[in-house]
Chain A
Amino acid sequence: MRSVRPRTTGVRPRATGVRPRVGTRLQSEPVRFWFDGREYTGQRGDTAASALLAQGVRLLGRSVKYRRPRGLLAAGPEEPNALLTEGTPPTVIPNVPAPQLILRDGLVLRSQNRWPSLRYDLASLLQAGGGFFGAGFYYKTFIWPSWRSYENIIRKLAGLGAAPGAANLMPPSIEHLSCDVLIGGAGPAGLAAALAAARAGARVVICEREPAVGGELEFEGATIDGQGAAHWIGAVKAELAQRGSRLLMDTAIVGGSDGLVIAHREPGGLAGCNTVYRIRPHRFVIAMGAVERPIAFVDNDRPGVMLLGAAERLLARYGVVAGERPLLFGNHDRLYAAAARLGAAGIQVRATVDSRPEAAAASGGAAAAARAELSRAGVECLFGHAVVAAEGGIVLRGARVAPLVSPASIRRFDCDAILVSGGWSPAVHAGLHEQGARRYTDDAAAFVADRQPEWRLTAGAASGLLDLAGVMADGFAAGDRAARACGATGSAGRPPVASGDGNPRLIPFWRSPASLNQEKRQFVDFQNDVTVADLRQALAEGFIDIEHIKRYTTLGVGTEQGRTGSILGAAIVAELRGLSLARVGASRTRPPYHPVTLAALAGHRVGAKLRPVRRTPLHHWHAANGGVPESSEYWMRTRFYRANGADAFSAGIAEAARVRAHGGILDASTLGKIEVVGRDAAKYLDRLYLAKASTIKVGRGKYMVNLREDGMVLDDGIVLRIDEDRYLATTGSGHAEHMLSHFEYYRDTEWSGANVALINVTEAWSVIVAAGPASRGVLQTVLGKPWYTGLDRLSHMAFVDGRWQERELRVLRASFSGELAFELHCRSDIALPLLQALADAGLPPYGLEALDILRLEKGYLAGSELNGQTTPLDLGMDGLLKLANPCVGRTLLDRPALHEPLRPRLVGLRAVDRKASIQGGAQITAANSPSQSLGHVTAGVYSPTLGEWIALALVARSFAAEGTLLVARDPLRGGDTRVRVTAPVHFDPAGERMKS
């Protein structure tokens, strides 16, 4: 009996017939959307595929190479043909499979791969070329006069959808979960497994890719524990919820490794509100069912040729009729059950074409009963036959059927759909991405999961079971096993008893007979237009390994990743090679199993949330005073101040000149600071630094260098002795974390038991440097009377602790600029007032650009010299080395390689021509051998103090004598400069200015 729901109005019915829906479970609320410029109406819950099919729109896309008209093949993300672009350029989302795209009001959808329109595509005329685009054509064509002549055209024609120019997506979220048992798939096996595990007391999480639960139970018409499937599913969902199991819908398992499973939730099928789940289960049950595969016959890609399961799902979930007079073609008993179901919905099945001999079909049971009923209804059931060709172009008109024993005697059937099922390929990808294998089993004619690591189990179709009773029992057992492995002790009870479609008794059948010429139109991989002829050609050209064939023919590449075509292709290759499919194998599957946007995987970890911006407490003052910021080692620092020049170069020079002439203040809060405290602190630091720390007097500091294990300089800084047992070690900006780990390592390994506490206090202290001849006077004014004499008496490298405005202040007399300078260490709440007071009292600020000029004039070291590849010897620290302090790295410092004549030596450079520039990064060569590099310029600046460019460089020792003439070569920035080697200290070598 046919129950007809009349269509809602507001839509122009198309000539090819809008079909009324049959028994849909959807709500009747209308949803308007656009497809290729025309407005359509669907129902709430429809996908783009179901709504368009219901409106009689069968042509949904064109293929990528030959631009053949295509319609819907599958009802899931494995859909290769009907890929749509959503949105209006430039904000589009391409390649969305129509059966996954749930309609929302106002969606604008477009088909892909066609111009000027879907119906009339110009490039499809290229088909007339026939075998021009066979396998590997791009290696053999488009060669003369050059590839570039064709590039533009090819770029326009190639590919699936067009990339978006802009995105308007909500930021995706990442959720971390852990559970006892993770179940992938909520079909019969998955639900049974979940039931068993939850009843046993395990914490269960289930991931289901579809918006509905039940898998094939949706249309199979099964009876479980005496109830209808829908009823049973409802009861199971309620029980699982009550037991605290978590069901994630619209969530697909896409990959994972090392005990981590990644699932991706994309509700509505559109990138937008995605969630990525990072799940760490104790046990993972793979119950993701199987993907139906087609059979290759001539023109099997026409709109109207569809997978049988897809047609059943469309009918059951959406009430959409894929074809009013379909022909069914397959190699198993499910054909008959499906035919009976379609018939019950009022669809007139034309015939069933079974490639198996009649003897192979079940003689009793539900399948036989279905066959009997079909015969009674006048439907022809052919055995030992195959559909050899589809007839029609954009509209399917019929099918040509022939017996396998005599393929020439062709019979023609009128039909408007060919529903094909060549069997099922278990979805075992989650068991293959790492540490898993698959094997071919003849029972299911499929690759099932083989060896799995202990934490993963398979259930249902993944284990090769295809009958409902077996699937549910297997799922239940797997869930029980998984729960026990997690230590759950509850009773799972009895497994559900199910009866539905029985064992399909499948006999593999991969392609219908065809002539060599006809093989060019027998499609194996729809998305990439790979035909049987392509496979044969690849074999003929010597690509016999399945992985080579995949890449040469593009079988199984693209968004669909061979879900419908890979195994079919491998089987056809096996036939052509005369080998078993088990021997040929299938190409490796890799994550992600479904397309996932990079944005989804990144989640919120982008921009500032990936690399947080660190600011000093004085950041806003710099901004307010014209400071131009620069990111330096995770911190925002000031490069120069706008008042002093239009760009970094001129401002830096002006600021540096002013510091030497008068004075300036610098924000050095980013300086790394580590407190080293304890009875053994002095001895401990002795072992970590090149010079001894135990000889530093309380109240003084010393410039210290420490080494890596292999003898290279790791870091440098001033170490202050605050007390007998208390030191403050400073490190380079941004190095504090690393140095803390370095210190902790030696304390915990080599010298475990040392009584030393290590605390990173970098962010506890702000540091302001006041430098220049006027610095002392200004400081005395600002800090006031209590500090007067102290500051007068403070000698170089000594410090004094005191208070300012009731807060702690430490003043260290140390200099990186070479001028008289003081480092003020204070808590952040007085940093700003202190800085402002110093500025008001006449010390203007200077930035990193000026600092670099100042330190270079003095030959002081920074990151460009302390690059991790230089030893203290290279850097001229001979004095420190003579102390022979046995510290970390000391032994390996003596290895011969570090004393060879080509080891670099730190030198200064001046240009022979006073006006020429010397740039950091330039390579140093001898004048007469221009291609052999002797080193490089580490940093070069224009020095206002000396009125010319100066530089520091690392030059091979044997060329580093003072006065040597060399060339600094800078081919990228254009220019070679003749240079003369000098001492690294260019200005005030005795250090008189800072010791004044």
Chain B
Amino acid sequence: MSSLACPFCGPRELDEFLFHKTLPEAQGDEYAVYERANRIDDSLEHWQHVRGCRAWLRVRRNPSTGEVREVQLLGRGHS
């Protein structure tokens, strides 16, 4: 995966984005900081388009193939 499609800016090279974290399995679990499940199928991640519109994005991608399945905007009512 060398590009991400930002909902505002369109497909952009990966180095415009900053990876923040992979969302833990159980949402809202406070102690998730200790748990990590490395799954070979889809992972949900938060990325920011730092060298562009600075939007926060929720990205669903397959870490084994690098294929990006879905990119959504976070914030302003999205979750």
Binding site for B on A (CB under 8 A): 257-260, 280, 435, 709-710, 737, 741, 744-745, 747-749, 752-753, 891-892, 895
By the criterion CB–CB under 8 Å, are A748 and B75 in contact? yes
By the criterion CB–CB under 8 Å, are A895 and B79 in contact? no
By the criterion CB–CB under 8 Å, are B75 and A280 in contact? no
Is there a chain A Cβ closer than 8 Å to B36's Cβ? no
By the criterion CB–CB under 8 Å, are A892 and B33 in contact? yes
CB-defined contacts of A257 to chain B, threshold 8 Å = 2
Known: A741-B18, A892-B30. A748 touches B2 (CB 8 A): no
A-B pairs with lowest CB-CB distance, top 6: A748-B75, A748-B56, A258-B2, A752-B75, A710-B33, A260-B2
In whole angstroms, what is the CA distance A698 to B38 when docked?
48
In whole angstroms, what is the CA distance A891 to B48 when docked?
25
CB-defined contacts of B18 to chain A, threshold 8 Å = 741
CB-defined contacts of A895 to chain B, threshold 8 Å = 30-31
Q: Out of A258, A709, A710, A753, name the residue touching B1 (CB < 8 Å).
A: A258
CB-defined contacts of B77 to chain A, threshold 8 Å = 752-753
Known: A749-B79, A752-B75. A280 touches B3 (CB 8 A): yes
CB-defined contacts of A748 to chain B, threshold 8 Å = 55-56, 74-76
By the criterion CB–CB under 8 Å, are B56 and A749 in contact? yes
CB-defined contacts of B20 to chain A, threshold 8 Å = 741, 745
Is there a chain A Cβ closer than 8 Å to B54's Cβ? yes
By the criterion CB–CB under 8 Å, are B46 and A749 in contact? yes
Instruction: Tell me the minimal C-beta distance from A891 to chain B in angstroms.
Output: 5
Q: Please name the residue on chain A nearest to B78 by beta carbon.
A: A752
In whole angstroms, what is the CA distance A280 to B14 when docked?
13
- Can you name 18 A-B residue pairings with CB atoms under 8 Å? A258-B1, A258-B2, A258-B3, A259-B2, A280-B2, A709-B33, A710-B33, A744-B56, A745-B46, A748-B55, A748-B74, A749-B56, A752-B75, A752-B79, A753-B76, A753-B77, A891-B30, A892-B31
Known A-B contacts: A741-B18, A748-B55. Give 11 more (CB < 8 A): A259-B3, A260-B2, A744-B48, A744-B54, A745-B46, A748-B74, A749-B75, A752-B77, A753-B76, A891-B30, A892-B30
CB-defined contacts of A745 to chain B, threshold 8 Å = 20, 46, 48, 56
Q: Please name the residue on chain B nearest to A742 by beta carbon.
A: B20
Instruction: Tell me the minimal C-beta distance from B27 to chain A in angstroms.
Output: 12
Query: Which B residues from 27 to 79 make CB contacts under 8 A with A?
Result: 30-31, 33, 46, 48, 50, 54-56, 65-66, 74-79
Q: Out of A280, A741, A892, name the residue touching B48 (CB < 8 Å).
A: A741
In whole angstroms, what is the CA distance A258 to B68 when docked?
11
In whole angstroms, what is the CA distance A741 to B50 when docked?
8
In whole angstroms, what is the CA distance A259 to B13 when docked?
11
CB-defined contacts of A749 to chain B, threshold 8 Å = 46, 56, 74-75, 79
CB-defined contacts of B65 to chain A, threshold 8 Å = 435
In whole angstroms, what is the CA distance A81 to B1 when docked?
39
In whole angstroms, what is the CA distance A747 to B20 when docked?
15
Instruction: Tell me the minimal C-beta distance from A754 to chain B in angstroms.
Output: 9
CB-defined contacts of A710 to chain B, threshold 8 Å = 33
Instruction: Tell me the minimal C-beta distance from A182 to chain B in angstroms.
Output: 15
Q: Please name the residue on chain B nearest to A740 by beta carbon.
A: B54
CB-defined contacts of A709 to chain B, threshold 8 Å = 33
Instruction: Tell me the minimal C-beta distance from A736 to chain B in angstroms.
Output: 12
CB-defined contacts of B54 to chain A, threshold 8 Å = 741, 744
In whole angstroms, what is the CA distance A747 to B54 when docked?
12
Instruction: Tell me the minimal C-beta distance from B39 to chain A in angstroms.
Output: 19
Known: A259-B2, A709-B33. A747 touches B48 (CB 8 A): no
Q: Please name the residue on chain A nearest to B20 by beta carbon.
A: A745
In whole angstroms, what is the CA distance A235 to B33 when docked?
65
Instruction: Tell me the minimal C-beta distance from A281 to chain B in angstroms.
Output: 13
Known: A259-B3, A745-B46. A752 touches B76 (CB 8 A): yes
